[in-house]
Amino acid sequence: TMAVVGGSATAPASGRTERIFRFSTKPKGESIGNQVIEGVNAEGVRNVTTIEAGSLGNDRPIRIVTESWYSPELQMVIMSKHSDPMTGDETFRLTNISRSEPAAYLFQLPAGYQVTDRK
C-alpha cells in the first residue's frame, strides 16, 4: 500500500508517474453512505471502471475501483482508496485533524527580524 498526499504518485517498479486524484473537489459517482473519519463527517463515493476483456491483451475484464470520502465541513477529500490490479492498491488518508486555533507563537516574527517598508 502506498500513501498518497498529493495529486500524483510514482509507481516504484516502473518509475512512471500517474495522475490519481484531485483532492480539492467533491468526487462524483455512486454514493456509498456517510461515516466519521478522524472525527470528521464524510460522504463516500465509489467509481468503478471496467476494462473489457481483450482491450489490453487481458483475458478477462479488469475492474478498477476508486473510493473517496469527502468532508463538506472541510471541503476536501479526507480519505481515498484506489484499487487497480495492474498497479496495486493506493490509499490516501488525512490523519491527526485538528481544528483548534493554532498557537500564537507560530505567527510571531523571529528574534532580530525587522519589517521594513519598501518604496
Q: Is the pLDDT of residue 27 over 70?
A: no
Task: Please check the confidence at residue 9 and state whether its pLDDT lies above 80.
Answer: no
pTM beyond 0.75, yes or no: no
Cα dist from 92 to 2, 3, 58, 78, 113, whole Å:
8, 5, 28, 8, 38
Could you tell me the sign of the dihedral formed by the alpha carbons of 61, 65, 9, 17, in that order?
Answer: positive
- Rounded to whole angstroms, the Cα distance separating 70 from 35 reads 10
pLDDT over 90 at 3, yes or no: no
pLDDT in tens, 77-117: 999 999 998 899 999 999 988 889 999 998 888 888 888 88
Bridge partners, residue 8, by sequence: 19
Closest CA to 79 of 29, 38, 48: 38
DSSP 11: -
Which residues, including other chains, have CB under 8 Å from residue 10's CB and lie 6 or more apart? 16, 17
- Least confident segment among 31-35, 74-78, 97-101: 97-101
* C-alpha to C-alpha distance for 15 and 21, rounded to whole angstroms: 18
Residue 51 CA to residue 65 CA, distance in Å, equals 11
Banded model confidence at residue 18, pLDDT cuts 50, 70, 90: very low
Confidence of residue 26 (pLDDT cuts 50, 70, 90): low
